Amino acid sequence: MWRCSTPAAAILIYPCVVVFLGVALPADYVIKTGDMIRITIFPPAIVPLLMAPATLVGTSADMTVMKMPVCLEGDELPPLLKIPMPYTSPPFVMPGMGTVSVTLLPLNKTMTTKNGKALLIKGTPFPAEFTVSAPAMQPTPAGPVPDPVAKKPGMAEFITTNATVKAG
């Protein structure tokens, strides 16, 4: 498995191409503290806390971009989005609760670095999912009817202001 020999090595691999499963993957912009993740759960589900992009916080102790810690694998979901959040899914308009998760693709991270984690890179949109813990309800004269769909698919993408440092 490839590992950076020094913390700076990950920054110096700008033109580098990583081969993954026989496919050449181009380098892409490194994600850092202050960059964002935009998560969209597909209609008809509505998750108000996901309407605006969320700010990411990088945890790298030895690597920075634009004087900000870079984001490592595990930093892709900010603490604000790790808690249960309300949702509706018309006609289930009485709010329910659930949590969001994302699945990074090989194009969204580098190989494992010296510190044991991959760097997050812009890459392409990747899968997201909202998992219902308490279903939203549809009001009816006979009483509320629960939303039968427990997992709601979506997509996520990184938004970065870094336009100079790439890794792959």
Q: Is 90 helix (H, G, I), strand (E, B) or coil?
A: coil
State yes or no: pLDDT of 93 exceeds 70.
yes
pTM beyond 0.95: the answer is no
Question: Which residues sit opposite 72 in a β-bridge?
Answer: 119
- Neighbouring C-beta atoms of residue 83, cutoff 10 Å: 10
20-63 tens-digit pLDDT: 444 556 789 999 999 999 999 999 999 999 999 999 999 999 89
Measure the CA–CA gap between 33 and 119, rounded to whole angstroms.
12
